[in-house]
Structure 1
């Protein structure tokens, strides 16, 4: 059996949405547990949080944020962390210092507005040049490195969610499991604290006229968001596999190496 959803999550005081997205049935076996980690940013991590992360022996961190996000919210690392942090330089959002879900919300007032903004956002995520650059680095790392890795952005839900879903799809995880893992963002850890923190940031940047329901949509995930990203990929490239090959550099050889490292 795969890892129970609730046992995937590691409770942290200052890191939101920290969880293992391995353990699912995949093509030829099952994804190894303890190899594929995902989360939000670590800028507010406590010493206890950093001890928990260090115990996982994570050797590669993939930071999907833009340069200004990293500068404004420096991620904390354990004193003994000696791994590598990978990212493609530049901005992944069009507004410097903003997360991608924040750049879409200037005209959002209602939950329906928020849903449309998120659908529009997800059409763009697989094709943003800087984000694509980091996705490429991630796929290469999964092919070349056997050690555990951690994938994160600001909230660990959109840029991270698409990347994790791509890895799942390429390794043959069932669509139901892909969606279930994606939706786990809505309940992982202290979701209410994450929503509250995100709401403060959104309101500071875009005013207080936004409905509470709209804020909750922006700070959560819904299956149609991910479906829109994959549908756009298929419209432009014919298949997810062709997109991964042509845009992310996941050749058959790279995919075989990923499988060797991640499937048991």
Structure 2
């Protein structure tokens, strides 16, 4: 496993610059990443440097539609995934449906409302912090029923490893991973590193995701003001979002208790199930 500083340095590579296969291949085949053939950006939150999470329980990934038979064997067998949570929109699911996995429950919950199109004007200033704060706060709200279901799984089914994914496994999945790591007691440095690792994890499909972002934002070109900041990953953007959660909800834990209805006892059990083998 590479140390945290080396991982963060590579993850800070500008999205317009290629991370070569010679650079990313050793990382993507080493913890916290797990090679699952046919998908990408797959990792075990319990194998992050300095994570409080136990290994082999909480996983995150990009889209699963192209998983191969070998990748399927890893998910079903080696990792022992028992439940998959799909955070995508109905349109994304229809275009690239998840395959069926033997003995694995697939959970998708209709969001409270459709995702809005990011306003690139809000990403122009600085490194796009205002746009990211706004976009991720919307993710927190729109997918709250999914957050509740995943946390109920952690509380009630600690023996059943689970995987959370969206299309890139970057933004929506990244927001949830940050929430989960916070509830487990991870440091802000560890949470920010997990967020940034998606820059490396998505490199094999970087061009495809650039096209996905172009379509999702209705950008006229990659040179449109704000688009460059939107497609980059920076710790400043994550920190701006965390500041927004603190101001809007009083922090992740308060959001989970006051907005999702979990008791102090629930939170204690969730943390225990996340951290105890």
Range class of TM-score, shorter chain: 0.7 to 0.9
> How far, CA to CA, are the matches of 1:43 and 1:115 in structure 2?
32
**Any idea what the Cα deviations from partners look like across 1:110-140, whole Å, max 9, x if unmatched?**
7968665334312322222xx0110110111
1:198 corresponds to which of 182, 194, 209: 209
Residue 17 (1) aligns with residue 46 (2)? no
Aligned to 1:99: none
| 1:203 to partner: Cα distance | 3.5
Aligned residue for 2:197, secondary structure, equals helix
| 1:24-173 correspondence runs (5 A) | 25=50, 30-55=52-77, 56-78=79-101, 81-90=102-111, 93-94=114-115, 103-104=117-118, 116-128=130-142, 131-146=143-158, 147-173=160-186
1:183: Cα distance to partner? 0.8
Tell me if structure 2 keeps the 8 A contact 1:162–1:226: no
- Following superposition, the deviation at residue 92 of structure 1 comes to 5.7
String of CA shifts for 1:19-60, please: whole Å, max 9, x gaps. 01114656xxx4210111001111122222222212211111
Calculate the aligned-residue CA RMSD, in Å.
3.0
TM-score (norm 2): 0.77
Partner of 2:22: none
Determine if the alignment matches structure 1 residue 185 to structure 2 residue 198: yes
In structure 2, runs of 5+ residues without a counterpart are 8-26
Aligned residue pair count = 248
Task: Report the Cα distance in structure 1 between the residues aligned to 2:144 and 2:137, rounded to whole angstroms.
Answer: 13
